[in-house]
Amino acid sequence: MGKPTGFMEIARQTSTELPPEERIQNFNEFHIPLPQDEQQAQGARCMDCGVPFCQAGMMIGGMASGCPLNNLIPEWNDLVYQGKWDLAVHRLRATNRFPEFTSRVCPALCEAACTCGYTTGSPVTVKENEHAIVEYGYESGLLTACPPPTRTGKTVAVVGAGPAGLAVADYLNKRGHKVTVYEREDRVGGLLMYGIPNMKLEKQVIDRRVNIMKAEGIDFVTCADVGGSTPAQDVLDAHDAVVLACGAKQARDINAPGRDAQGIYFAVDYLTSVTRSLLDSGFSDGKAVSAKDKKVLVIGGGDT
């Protein structure tokens, strides 16, 4: 705890956002990060609690509390405050394979569990501290390909290139196994690629990570529908082990009058059509489901 009085002296400050009239001109991310010195000051607000609920990742009263990855949050908050960015990258990477994803799309259960939030009404900016750390890691050249020094001679197939598939592929590759990831879509990423809009997670962020994984020896096979166009037996025969990380593609439907009417879409199908058209042609192909000049009813108030 580099500054014991930090949470009393420093107000919570977060990134700014582009004005709505600017952000609607494109599908780019619209948060403007704090300058590095201001981000470091935010790290000083961490109280380094004796019981760090922010990193607990447990169920309390039937509700999730804290980081499910058990990130070492008080450690790297303090390192950010001290300006020890290299070490902060190291400690963040100790528990989180893909902090560039979580720092953009995670719902920040850590901040909901932050003791500083309970005592002052303003939790530590954990998510933005994490974002600053990982982007510093890339900009400074700390996050580069690191192939395993030896190989076990074993091969593993991972079916599904979403966040779970990417994570298991990364862990297995780091342990020296030869990993091949099979993905039914034309791009790697699963819901990261097609289920989360570009303004929340720009797709070059995914490509940046996937390129590192390729350089570390992981193979990716796209347009491979295992059990469909790609026979499952062929995959089983070609590998010593198979990990299924297929995701949940079946949407939750409702049985209501008029359900079969035209113009009703599952949310992920809508998001997929928009992102695919954006990436393929900048919307010139006309394949995106358009809501322009229409009245839209959304059923469901979750993140999607």
pLDDT in the model for residue 3? 87
Q: Is residue 149 part of a domain?
A: no
How confident is the model at residue 10, as a pLDDT? 96
In a domain, 146, yes or no: no
Amino acid at 180: T
* 213 & 234 share domain: yes
Among 228, 244, 260, residue at a domain's last position: 244
Beta-strand (E) ranges in 97-240?
Answer: 155-159, 178-182, 219-221
In a domain, 183, yes or no: yes
Flag whether 27 is in a domain: yes
pLDDT score for 301: 87
Residue 150 lies in a domain: no
Which among 139, 166, 201 is the end of a domain?
Answer: 139
Report the domain count for the chain. 3
Instruction: Tell whether 1 is covered by a domain.
Output: no
Q: Which of 265, 279, 254 is nearest to 186 (CA)?
A: 279
Local structure of 178: helix, strand or coil = strand
Tokens for 1, please give them. 């705890």
Give the pLDDT means over successive 10-residue stretches in the chain (304 positions). 88 96 95 97 95 89 89 97 98 97 96 94 97 98 97 98 98 98 97 95 98 98 96 98 92 90 93 96 94 92 84
Shared domain check, 110 and 37: yes
Confidence (pLDDT) at 70:
95
Residue 200 domain-assigned? yes
- Determine contact, residues 67/54, Cβ cutoff 8 Å: yes
Q: Are residues 176 and 210 in the same domain?
A: yes
Task: Please check whether residues 52 and 100 belong to one and the same domain.
Answer: yes
DSSP code for 79? H
Q: Which pLDDT score is estimated for 80?
A: 98
The per-residue pLDDT for 59 is: 85
Are 275 and 232 contained in the same domain? no
Same domain, residue pair 12 and 93: yes
- 38 and 130 part of one domain: yes
Which pLDDT does position 54 carry in this prediction? Answer: 96
CATH number, domain at 98?
A: 1.10.1060.10
Same domain, 52 and 103: yes
186, 275: one domain: no
**Pair (160, 227) in one structural domain:** yes
What is the C-alpha separation between 2 and 79, in angstroms, rounded?
8
Which among 95, 113, 139 is the end of a domain?
139
Q: Where in the sequence is the domain holding 159, given as residue range(s)? A: 155-244
Please tell me whether residues 202 and 298 are part of one structural domain: no
In a domain, residue 145? The reply is no
Structure tokens at 105: 């799309």
Mark whether 194 and 264 lie in a shared domain: no
CATH of residue 231's domain is: 3.50.50.60
